Amino acid sequence: MDYSNLRRQAASMKKSLFDQGYLDEQFCQVEDLQDEASPNFAEEVITLFFKDSARLISNIEQALEKYPKDFNKWDAYMQQLKGSCSSIGASRMKSECMSFREFCGQGNVEGCMKSFQKVKREHGVLRQKLEAYFQLLRQAGPAGAATRPGM
Amino acid sequence: MGLGGEGSAAAAAPHVLAVDDSSVDRAVIAGILRRSQFRVTAVDSGKRALELLGSEPNVSMIITDYCMPEMTGYELLKKVKESSRLKEIPVVIMSSENVPTRINRCLEEGAEDFLLKPVHPADVSRLCSRVLR
């Protein structure tokens, strides 16, 4: 098994995610917290993020329906989602969250609805891409395997 | 040589209490603190923080989110500073929003510092080495 090649692929995938704006520097900060004591830290945090963000998206969806034009409520939920995105470096998703909040501030229902669809779309895309990335990393094995000399 | 004194001081890693209603942010702040060799307990509310503070005598610092349901970080700060038993514990507030009036209010109430989210390891280690000297 060519671990170094897999790790190269993972690095290339990550670079692409940065180049396309899906992720920002904060993602690196999270990955940098990984060490021997917490070897799966980044994946654990990202898993938490997707669990939490799915819940928040569901809350927002319900609020959009059950509380029409309650921009304060909608904004409050989106603030939480935006915060989580920010914490893991989910840059594109964060931007869409911010757009939604701007529309809330303007009292623009249609803007909020369209923006929310974009948030959901970005969420889905990011989830797919990060699942692929972490799967590749898992196949590549722990960092020690990649750095074994002479192999 | 004072080995006994140094040994016991070094062995007892400072215990930091992290408070944040976001599970993601809790995981990140706990990760940052553990990386800096602190012992961390992370809780999801001011209420739980106060419960822990009631039973755990040796908390060296509290780092709390500002925006939390039921009890904000500011309200938690106030309760800590109003308690004769707890008031000496340094409290740091974190927030995703840069609101000067909010920041000033917290500092006036006795917060040690105010960190903007997303929190960076460098901010936290700089803060901790200052606060926990």
| DSSP states of B34-47 | HHTT-EEEEESSHH
Please report where in the chains the tokens 């501030």 appear, as a residue.
Answer: A105
Q: Is the pLDDT of residue A32 over 60?
A: yes
Q: How many domains does chain B have?
A: 1
Give me the CATH number covering residue B122.
3.40.50.2300
* Closest approach of A26 to chain B, Cα-based (Å): 7
B118 to A45: CB separation less than 8 angstroms, yes or no: no
Mean pLDDT of A103-108: 97
pTM, full prediction: 0.88
B93: phi then psi, degrees, rounded to nearest 5: -105, 140
Specify the pLDDT at position B5: 47
Residues ≥6 apart with Cβ < 8 Å to A134: A42, A43, A46
Pairing mode of beta strands B113-116, B61-65? unpaired
Tell me the residues of B at the A interface, defined by beta carbons under 8 Å apart: 22-25, 27-28, 31-32, 34-35, 67, 96, 117-118, 120-121
**Nearest CA of chain A to the CA of B1: how many Å?**
32
In a domain? residue B103: yes
The count of CB pairs under 8 A between chains A and B is: 53
What is the complex's ipTM, to 2 decimals? 0.88
Is A26 part of any domain? yes
Going by C-alpha positions, the residue among A144, A141, A147 that lies closest to residue A1 is A141
**pLDDT mean over A84-89:** 96
Chain A residues lying within 8 Å of B31, measured CB to CB? 30, 33, 38, 41, 45
Is position A27 within any domain? yes
Q: What distance in Å separates the CA atoms of residue B45 and residue A126, rounded to the nearest whole number?
A: 29
CA distance B119 to chain A (A): 8
Counted domains in chain A: 1
Confidence of residue A1 (pLDDT cuts 50, 70, 90): low
Q: A126 near A90, Cβ under 8 Å?
A: yes
Domain membership of residue A67 (yes or no) is yes
In a domain, B97, yes or no: yes
Q: Is residue A47 within 8 angstroms of chain B, CB to CB?
A: no
Task: Find, in chain A, the residue whose alpha carbon is nearest to that of B22.
Answer: A84
Query: Is residue B95 a part of any domain in this protein?
Result: yes
pLDDT given for residue A150 in this prediction: 43
Phi-psi region of B117 (alpha: psi -120 to 50; beta: other; left: phi over 0): beta
SS (H, E, C) B5-20: HHHHHHHCCCEEEEEC
- Residue B4: inside a domain, yes or no? no
Residue A94, domain member (yes or no): yes
Q: What's the domain range around A25?
A: 3-139
Q: Which of A37, A45, A80 sits opposite B28 (nearest CB)?
A: A45
Residue A105's CATH number? 1.20.120.160
Structural domain contains residue A11: yes
B5 located within any domain: no
Residue A148 has what pLDDT?
Answer: 40
Tell me how close the Cα of B108 comes to any Cα of chain A, in angstroms: 25
Grouping H, G, I as helix, E, B as strand and the rest as coil, residue A139 is: helix
> Residue A10 domain-assigned?
yes
- Chain A residue nearest residue B31, CA to CA: A33
Q: Which residue in the set A29, A32, A52 is minimally distant from B24, CB to CB?
A: A52
Q: What is the pLDDT along chain B (133 residues), one digit of tens a residue?
A: 544 444 444 457 899 999 999 999 999 999 999 988 899 999 999 999 999 999 987 899 999 999 999 999 999 999 999 999 999 999 999 999 899 999 999 999 999 999 999 998 888 888 888 887 6
Residue B3 lies in a domain: no
Does B15 reside within a domain? yes
What Cα–Cα distance (Å) separates residue A63 from each residue in A67, A101, A115, B52, B127?
5, 14, 15, 34, 39
Q: How many CB atoms lie within 10 A of CB A25?
A: 11
Distance from CA of B84 to the nearest CA of A (A): 34
Query: Is A83 in contact with B117 (Cβ distance < 8 A)?
Result: yes
**Mean pLDDT value across chain B:** 89
Q: Of A43, A14, A53, give the one whose Cα is nearest residue A134.
A: A43
pLDDT, one tens digit per residue, over A130-142 is 999 999 999 988 7
Report, as an integer, the average pLDDT of A52-71: 97
A84 contacts B32? CB cut-off 8 A: no
